[in-house]
Amino acid sequence: MIFLIRKSFLVFMFVFFTGALNVCINAQSQDISRENEVGPQAETAQEISPSVKKEAQLLEEVAASREEVKKAQDKAKIAEEELRLAQEKVAITEAKIRGRFSITQKKVIQTLAVIFIGYFILFILVNIINRRIKDVKGKHIVRKNVAYFVNLVILVVIFLVWLQNINSITIFLSVVGAGIALALQEALLCIAGWVLIVIRRPFEVGDRIELGGVKGDVIDIRLFQTSLLEVGNWVEADQSTGRIVNIPNSAMFKKENYNYNRGFEFIWNEIRILVTFESNWKKAKEIMLTRGKEEAKGLEQIVKKKIDAMTRQYMIYYEHLTPIVYVNIKDSGVELTLRYLTETQSRRMTQDRLCQAILDDFNKKENINFAYTTYRIVK
């Protein structure tokens, strides 16, 4: 029994060591095969590394190109967005222009309507004034004042139609002011002259004035000019010529103006008569003075009241208001000058009556003779 156990133990040990030896041999062979496999792979890796580098570079270039393409696409999107915004702005601007054009059309229609209605009302008012007022001067003054008022209302309404807010008003006034200052200097001066005439009233319709060297009766005062019925020129003694002269209102600032009626409706006039040295010049003086006082009868009180009224506004003083005759010695005889007051428009008629009366009186006196220039030839 013991022998069998020993024999079995030896067989087991033999089998065990034989198996272990086989395992060691297999493991060593596997290690050798692995080493044989790794060697060629390492050599292959060393051979492949340059191509891998090239591929890596190509990949990097492709990645960079893709990045650039992406950036270009982003820029294109931004450009498309800007284009869309620009198109929207253009559409908004076109809409605004169309709206403004329609608004401008409405304002033009409103302006024409205001002008038509204003002048239609003015036409009706002028007809009423012409029928109701009989006095020529009063009718003209009322008619002109109504026309000024209606035109002013029309301008104000048009001004309000075209201007919407304070900014537009400021811009409008600036543009208009610059345009007037540069291009309408003379017209602006005429308007300023008209304002001076209306406010200060150096003369009015019906007055006899001399403006810019032209003498005449004022028949109309307009925004840019004043119309005169000419007096004098080739016609003597302040008689009308029949011509109408239009004088720019700017002459108020450039020329002197004379008023024959403002404040004092009378003017001094003189009649000169030359008598011989042998004539009774004292009697001739007495006759002229008597006729002058007869013509001035009733005027002295009126003249005094007018002068008193003038002294409240002007420093004016007259010592003698009654007619007076001055004596002067001339080469051909004694000069007698009758100085007297007369109404402006009656100057020629008054002078005509006085001259006829004085001639009649002189003819009745034998010792009063007119003197004239004579020549004596001595041999």
| pLDDT tens digits for range 337-367 | 999 888 877 888 888 889 999 999 888 888 8
CB 121 within 8 A of CB 157: no
Largest CA distance in the chain: 225
Residue boundaries of the structural domains of the chain:
57-162, 200-259, 266-363
Q: Please state which CATH class domain 200-259 belongs to.
A: mainly beta
Q: Where are the alpha helices (DSSP H) in 184-222?
A: 185-200
Q: What is the pLDDT of residue 328?
A: 92
Q: State the pLDDT at residue 176.
A: 65
Those residues whose C-beta lies under 8 Å from the C-beta of residue 270, and which sit 6 or more positions away, are 337, 338, 339, 340
| Residue 253 pLDDT > 70 | yes
Minimal CA–CA distance to 116: which of 63, 78, 157, 144? 157
Report the half-sphere exposure of 69 (CA within 13 A, side-chain side): 6
Mean pLDDT of 306-311: 72
**Mean pLDDT lowest among 66-70, 119-123, 253-257, 361-365:** 66-70
Give the tens place of pLDDT for each residue, 122-177: 888 888 888 888 777 777 778 888 888 888 888 888 877 777 655 555 666 676 67
Checking if the pLDDT of 223 tops 90, the result is no
pLDDT-wise least confident of 30-34, 104-108, 211-215, 340-344: 30-34
The per-residue DSSP string of 311-351 comes to HTTS----S--S-EEEEEE-SSSEEEEEEEEEEGGGHHHHH
Name which CATH class applies to 266-363.
alpha beta
Q: CA 300, 306, 311, 317: dihedral to nearest 10 degrees?
A: -30
Mean pLDDT, the chain, rounded, equals 77
Report CA-CA distances (Å) from 369 to 36, 174, 335.
175, 76, 12
Q: Work out the angle between the directed axes of helices 166-183 and 185-200 (0-180°, nearest 10).
A: 100
**Reported confidence tier of residue 42, pLDDT bands at 50, 70, 90:** very low
- Check residue 240 and give its pLDDT: 80
pLDDT of 7: 47
User: C-alpha distances in angstroms, 136 versus 124, 141, 191, 219?
Assistant: 19, 9, 26, 11
Q: How confident is the model at residue 274 (pLDDT cuts 50, 70, 90)?
A: very high
The pLDDT of residue 379 is 61
pLDDT score of 32 more than 70? no
pLDDT given for residue 154 in this prediction: 87
pLDDT for 175 = 64
CA–CA gap between residue 184 and residue 192 (Å, rounded): 12
pLDDT at residue 26, rounded to an integer: 58
* In the predicted structure, residue 308 carries a pLDDT above the cut 80: no
Q: Please answer whether residues 214 and 245 qualify as being in contact, where contact means their C-beta atoms are separated by less than 8 angstroms.
A: yes
Half-sphere exposure of 120 toward its Cβ, with a 13 Å CA cutoff?
A: 6
Mean pLDDT lowest for which of 46-60, 131-145, 204-218? Answer: 46-60
For residue 291, count CB atoms less than 10 angstroms from its CB and return exposed for 0-12, middle for 13-18, buried for 19 or more: buried
Q: How confident is the model at residue 100 (pLDDT cuts 50, 70, 90)?
A: low
Compute the Cα dihedral for 188, 190, 192, 195 and give only its sign.
negative
132 compared with 304, residue with greater pLDDT: 132
Least confident of 46-55, 100-109, 197-206, 269-278: 46-55
Identity (one letter) of the amino acid at 191? I
